[in-house]
Amino acid sequence: MKKVLSKAVLLGGLLAGVFVLTAAAEEFLFRSAIVGSNPNISIGGVPSGGAPWVVQQGSAALQANGKLHVEVAGLILPNLGTPGPVKNISASLVCGGTGGTVVATTDAVSLSAAGDAEIESQISVPSTCFGPVVLVRAVFNGNAGPWIAGTGSNSTSEPNVKDGGDSN
């Protein structure tokens, strides 16, 4: 009986250790809802688009290892009900808040006609990044252009439940 109990305790300890290592490997530096932009706002030296944008639902999560996950649903120009001419987007990490600097930008991904997209990318994160902001940027001719959505909140923003529901 003692041997069975000892093995059960040992197995339980090993499983707990694996869980802790897995949780530590997925440590989040930053998680936030994504909201649409308004014209005439510059963040990290990047101007916003020339028209207001809305996001039905969106989230950004940056892990300590530099894995960036951005998901948007219903990213549209409200006056058109579609993303209009924007067919591709990328995400940029800004350190230093609104007056900061873009430190990394992902490759472009397709934006559906309904305004849905998902970015999974590995980026280089500086050792110190005060006031992180993730910008969703329109991409034209392969170049990241104005930001059309970004991390933040408004009275209608809801975090993506898939990312754990936190809005830090």
Q: What is the DSSP string of 96-120?
A: SGGGSEEEEEPPPEE--TTS-EEEE
Residue 139: per-residue pLDDT: 98
Do residues 137 and 146 lie in contact, with contact meaning Cβ atoms separated by under 8 Å? yes
| CATH architecture, range 28-153 | Sandwich (2.60)
CA-nearest of 14, 23, 128, 25 to 67 is 25
| Residue 23 pLDDT | 39
For residue 157, the one-letter residue type is S
pLDDT given for residue 26 in this prediction: 59
Structure tokens at 92: 């940029």
Instruction: Tell how far CA 41 is from the center of its chain.
Output: 19
Confidence of residue 20 (pLDDT cuts 50, 70, 90): very low
Q: Exposed (0-12), middle (13-18) or buried (19+): which is 82, by Cβ within 10 Å?
A: middle
Query: pTM to 2 decimals?
Result: 0.78
